[in-house]
Amino acid sequence: MQQPHGATDLACLFEFLRRLYEEQLPFNRVLGLVVRSLGEKQVQVAIPMQACLVGNPRYGILHGGVISAVVDAAGGLAVTAGILNQLVGQPMDQIARKVARISTIDLRVDYLRPGKGTEFLATGVIMRTGSKVAVTRMELHSDAGVLIAVGTGTYIVG
């Protein structure tokens, strides 16, 4: 995990997190994931529709596993962004260790409609953060604004 040098203000940490999710996580690169917004309580990521992400070639819809992966990425990103806010000013090696330990321990995805579109937007919102786990709520929409899936994720943070 490549780390930013020097400053650990929130803007610097958010840039570190954006680069981590877009450039350093191999599966996110396969998805073409782009971080659209980062906030302390809410994030948004996008992926373009690609032929390699199709789950039903007859109808050209997004694969259910891709949907769950993007929903999970949005939840994990939301949790990590929220944790970074608490770590401002701490040494970068300590921040990197804390971020590296965050992982999914439970994920529920409800598929509501077929994944049709040219781009998909996933939003992750923190519902609760405790000392050991955090819970998020996620939504995935098509570029036409159609709600495709919703999810709830639980992440280990401590």
pLDDT tens digits, residue range 2-55?
Answer: 444 455 689 999 999 999 999 999 999 999 999 999 998 899 999 999 999 999
* CATH 3.10.129.10 is right for the domain spanning 10-156: yes
User: Tell me, what's the pLDDT at 3?
Assistant: 47
What pairing do the DSSP bridges indicate for beta strands 103-111 and 61-62? unpaired
- Residue-wise pLDDT for 66-109, tens only, equals 999 999 999 999 999 999 988 888 888 889 899 999 999 999 99
